[in-house]
Amino acid sequence: MKITLTLNGNKHQVDVEPRHTLTDVIRDACGYTGTHLGCEHGVCGACTIIVDGEAIRACLMFAIQADGRTIRTIEGLAQGNTLHPLQEAFVKHHALQCGYCTPGFLMLATHALEKNPDITDAELQDVLSSNLCRCTGYQNILAAVQDARDTMRTPS
């Protein structure tokens, strides 16, 4: 079946089987391998992307369900050479080690900050508890997202 995905602003027409997950299609058919598979059953959050303005687990959506939808992945976060404030903050706060969970955390946090730029620390902790990281112990991820929130709130 032919479907069309708008991925980071680019239209991709791809041929899929109904059972192909959105993650597999984004990675294998569209070539955006920045979205990672960590569990394929919706727990770890490594495949978190933004579909029509909602942060979702791409392993729990079939690609065919995303036909005609607008999708944002990690590859669309930076503007050319300029990193998104969240990406900057992750580097600054050593919020990644192996980097495998990082795209999922970045997309999760991007969505949270876009939805509520004034999100409280407690709400952030709740949101960020959605995804698993095995390297960092999370504190630096939290610090990075808090920092990015504050930076984005007060344009300099």
Applying the rule CB under 8 A, the residues between 119 and 138 that interact with other proteins are 125-138
Name the minimum Å distance from CB 76 to other proteins. Answer: 9
Q: How far is it, in rounded angstroms, from Cα 34 to Cα 143?
A: 23
Based on the number of CB atoms within 10 Å of its own CB, is 64 exposed (0-12), middle (13-18) or buried (19 or more)?
middle
d(CA 46, CA 78): 19
Q: Which of 3, 5, 14, 56 binds other proteins (CB under 8 A)?
A: 56
Does 44 contact other proteins by CB under 8 A?
A: yes
Q: Tell me which H or E stretch contains 141.
A: helix 139-153
Q: Which is nearer to other proteins, 5 or 56 (CB)?
A: 56
Q: Residue 75, interface with other proteins (CB under 8 A)?
A: yes
Cβ–Cβ < 8 Å for 26, 67 = no
Using the minimum distance from each CB to other proteins, give the nearer residue, 1 or 150.
1
Termini Cα distance of the chain: 48
How crowded is residue 12: how many other Cβ atoms within 10 Å of its Cβ? 17
Is residue 15 packed enough to be buried (19+ CB in 10 Å), middle (13-18) or exposed (0-12)? exposed
Name the minimum Å distance from CB 154 to other proteins: 22
CB of 153 to other proteins, least distance (A): 20
Tell me how far, at minimum, the Cβ of 15 lies from other proteins, in Å.
13
Does position 33 interact with other proteins (CB under 8 A)? The reply is yes
- Residue 49 beta carbon to other proteins: minimum distance, rounded to whole angstroms: 9
Taking CB under 8 A as the criterion, the residue among 59, 113, 119, 148 binding other proteins is 59
The interface with other proteins within residues 84-123 (CB under 8 A) comprises 87, 90-92, 94, 96-103, 106, 108, 112
